[in-house]
Structure 1
C-alpha cells in the first residue's frame, strides 16, 4: 500500500489519525496561516493536542511560522510528495491507512517494553 519513503515519513511524523487530519488540513489550504485556535476549531479537537501537533510539525520543518500562525511549507519536496500520497490513500482507502498508523510502534510503548528487557552482564 505504501512505498518505503511514505512509510518512513508516516512512522516519523504521523503519531495518530488526529495528526494526519491536521497535516492534511494544513496541506489542503496551504496558502492559509493557521493559529492553534483556528486549527482546533476546524478539527474539533483539544487545543493542547493541536498545539503539540503544530510544534512537532515546526520541528520537522513541515510548517513555517508566519506572523499569523503556521502555514504548510515542507522544507523537503520528498516530504511534500509523501503528504500527497497520504492524502490520496486517505481518500481512497481510509481504513487501511488508519490501520497502518495504528500499527506503528509507539515511542512511549517501546520505552516501556524496553524497561523490561533483560540485559546481559
Structure 2
C-alpha cells in the first residue's frame, strides 16, 4: 500500500506534524485518554520507550499545539488540540492508523529528515576553513 491511499488531510498532517512512529504513538495514547494527564515517565512505561524520548516527544507535541501541559505547571500533558481542525486531523490519523497501520508507518519513514543531512555533514572534510 502506498501513502497515496490515505486521505489527503492525513498525509498532510503526517508531513507537517509527525516526525516518528514514537511521536505518533504518544499522540494516540493521549488522544485515547483525553481526561487524564501523562508524564514522560508514565507514557514511557505505557509504550515501553525511554523516558527521555517520551519527554522530548511530549514537548514536540505541545509545541505543535496538539497537547498542553497540565494546569498545575508540572511535567504532565494531556490531549487538547488548539482547535477543532487539529482535532479532526488527529481523528483522521487515528482512523487511518487503525485501518492502514503499515501505510501510515511507511509514510512516516519515507519523509526526508534534516537529521540525516546533519549526520552526513558531520563526516564532510573541512579545508582551509571552508567546506569541500
- CA separation of 1:70 and 1:8: change in aligned 2, threshold 3 A: same
Shift of 1:33: 0.5
Shift of 1:3: 3.2
Shift of 1:4: 3.2
Residue number in structure 1 paired with 2:89: 82
Q: For residues 28-75 of structure 1, what are the alpha-carbon distances to aligned partners after superposition, in whole Å with 9 as ceiling and x for unaligned?
A: 001110011111111110111101001101111111111261010010
- CA separation of 1:49 and 1:113: change in aligned 2, threshold 3 A: same
Shift of 1:11: 1.5
Report the secondary structure of 2:36's partner residue. coil
Task: Provide the aligned C-alpha RMSD in A.
Answer: 2.0
Larger Rg: 2
Separation (CA, whole Å) in 2 of partners of 1:16 and 1:108: 12
How many residues align? The count is 116
Out of 37, 41, 44, the residue aligned to residue 45 of structure 2 is 41
Out of 71, 86, 90, the residue aligned to residue 78 of structure 2 is 71
2:105 equivalent to 1:98: yes
Out of 20, 30, 43, the residue aligned to residue 26 of structure 1 is 30
Out of 94, 97, 114, the residue aligned to residue 107 of structure 1 is 114
Report the secondary structure of 1:32's partner residue. coil
Residue number in structure 1 paired with 2:129: none
